[in-house]
Amino acid sequence: MAEETRHVLELAASEAQAAPSIFNTQPWRWHLANDELRLRADRSRQLEVTDPDGRQLTISCGAALHHAVVALAAAGYGAEVSRQQDPGDADLLAVVRVAGTRVPSENDRRLHQAIPRRRTDRRAYGAEDVESRTISGLVAAAENQSAHLHISSNDQVKVLRDAAIRAEQVHQADTAYQIELASWTHRPSRARDGVPAATAVVPTDRRVPVRGLAVPGVGISPGVEHDVAAIYALVFTDTDERLDWLRAGEALSAVVLSATAMNLAASPISDVMELAETRAEVSHILDGPGHAQIAVRIGHPPEGEMPASPRRDPAEVIDT
């Protein structure tokens, strides 16, 4: 492997550690060999109760894949990505190769600069509307990743709210789910993963309830707003295969990085997608046929910066 190629691929995989993932499980591994970077699902980090089919795991890996491609582009390199459909190796999701040099565009730089700034901001967003041209840009960002972004109307947000309430009721009654949630919200600091109390938010009234993550008496203030002007978007795909899940993760990454680059806050919403019943209800609000994969709340954040979630050392996830 040429030393330069090896270096840029390893750097891209390192930067991909900042990608969002379900419960901050970071469920991916990278293998660097033969002038290529292989992205694999790390099944040891799959949520057996919350995500038994690995759909959210694959979406998380798709977000990491997009982060890596953004890092390559900003460094001046093209990326050739082969997304795998090998039934004999279900854990191999994609292969990334360097495809020559290129001049980074302004958007390449903006997305790359957004990587270390992006947070999953669970606080309540303010009353300032998101501009229509900004929304159009977010829709285009998802389309560029071969997925779609549906912006929910006020009536459709009510459907999403009802689904979130129902999902919370089911989850509260599920002992196995509660044990799994606790295992990822009470992580030792040395693990460098999971959802720490510093990023959990005290429950408050919202247009759509936020999954309860805070330990009673612990968690940051949600602020004084109630998401009155937040937009609720659905990342969706035409079909519902493993490749679609990966593409949905790439689109999610493109949307949240684009939002961050425009000084907006974003928070993925996965709880309504974890139950077949509520996922079907949410999918019905789409304008046409399609499969909702994950929702995302976007808006103007309150004052102050959210703390970063912990990340594992790249040496733990990159095999060389």
In sequence order, which residues have a C-beta less than 8 Å from that of residue 78 and are 6 or more positions away?
72, 98, 99, 100, 101, 102
Contact 231, 297 (CB under 8 A): yes
Contact 134, 234 (CB under 8 A): no
* Average of per-residue pLDDT values in the chain: 95
The pLDDT, as a whole number, for residue 220 is 85
Contact 128, 144 (CB under 8 A): no
Tens of pLDDT, residue by residue over 139-191, are: 999 999 999 999 999 999 999 999 999 999 999 999 999 999 999 999 999 99
The three-state secondary structure class of 52 is: coil
Query: Which range is least confidently modeled, 100-109, 213-222, 224-233, 279-288?
Result: 213-222
Q: Whole-angstrom Cα distance, residue 314 to residue 316?
A: 5
The pLDDT, as a whole number, for residue 1 is 55
Q: What is the mean pLDDT of residues 190-212?
A: 90
The pLDDT, as a whole number, for residue 84 is 84
CATH of the domain spanning 132-299, picked from 3.40.30.120, 3.40.640.10, 3.40.109.10, 3.30.70.330:
3.40.109.10
Contact 185, 194 (CB under 8 A): yes
The three-state secondary structure class of 306 is: coil
Burial tier of 136 (Cβ tally within 10 Å: 0-12, 13-18, 19+): exposed
The two tokens of residue 185 are 């919200």
- How many residues in total does the chain contain? 320
307: left (phi over 0), alpha (psi -120 to 50) or beta: beta
In 3D space, the residue among 319, 223, 256, 260 whose CA is nearest the CA of residue 14 turns out to be: 319
Contact 23, 80 (CB under 8 A): no
In sequence order, which residues have a C-beta less than 8 Å from that of residue 221 and are 6 or more positions away?
123, 201, 202
> What's the fold here for domain 3-118?
NADH Oxidase (3.40.109)
Q: In what order do the strands lie in the sheet with 36-41?
A: 77-83, 92-101, 36-41, 28-33, 318-319
Place of tokens 């995989």: 13
Contact 55, 107 (CB under 8 A): no
Q: Whole-angstrom Cα distance, residue 101 to residue 170?
A: 50
Q: Whole-angstrom Cα distance, residue 163 to residue 118?
A: 27
In 3D space, the residue among 206, 172, 208, 173 whose CA is nearest the CA of residue 285 turns out to be: 208
Give the distance, in angstroms, between the CA of residue 207 and the centroid of all CA atoms in the same chain. 21
Residue 214: band (very low, low, confident or very high) from pLDDT cuts 50, 70, 90: low
Q: What is the mean pLDDT of residues 286-293?
A: 93
Q: What is the mean pLDDT of residues 286-314?
A: 95
In 3D space, the residue among 53, 97, 55 whose CA is nearest the CA of residue 248 turns out to be: 55
Q: Where in the chain is the domain with CATH 3.40.109.10?
A: 3-118, 132-299
The pLDDT, as a whole number, for residue 90 is 87
Per-residue pLDDT at 287 exceeds 70: yes
In 3D space, the residue among 263, 273, 319 whose CA is nearest the CA of residue 296 turns out to be: 273
Buried b vs exposed e over 101-127: b needs ≥16 C-beta within 10 Å?
eeebeebbebbbebbeebbbbbbbbbe
